[in-house]
Amino acid sequence: MDLYHKNAAGDWLIINYQAGDTIELKSINLSFPIEQIYRNLDLTPEPESKPESTK
């Protein structure tokens, strides 16, 4: 997951979060594990569908 953060100089920075990281939103004084964003979601890939054969 990427978080876009504007620093004091007005430049945008990209912070890349990965499994096990804690996301910190300083402007609202909030920190939480990245896994909280994805809880209750089924991220299992769906099987690829095979194209129908032409007769």
Give how far Cα 40 sits from Cα of 31, 44, 54, Å.
19, 12, 40
With a pLDDT cut of 90, the percent of the chain lying above it is 45
**Model confidence at 53, in pLDDT bands (50, 70, 90)?**
low
**Model pTM?**
0.56
Secondary structure (DSSP) of 40-55:
T---PPPPPPPPPPP-
Residue 36: φ, ψ to 5°: -65, -30
* Residue from 27, 31, 28 nearest 8 by CA: 27
The pLDDT of residue 55: 56
4-27 pLDDT, tens digit each: 989 899 999 999 999 899 998 888
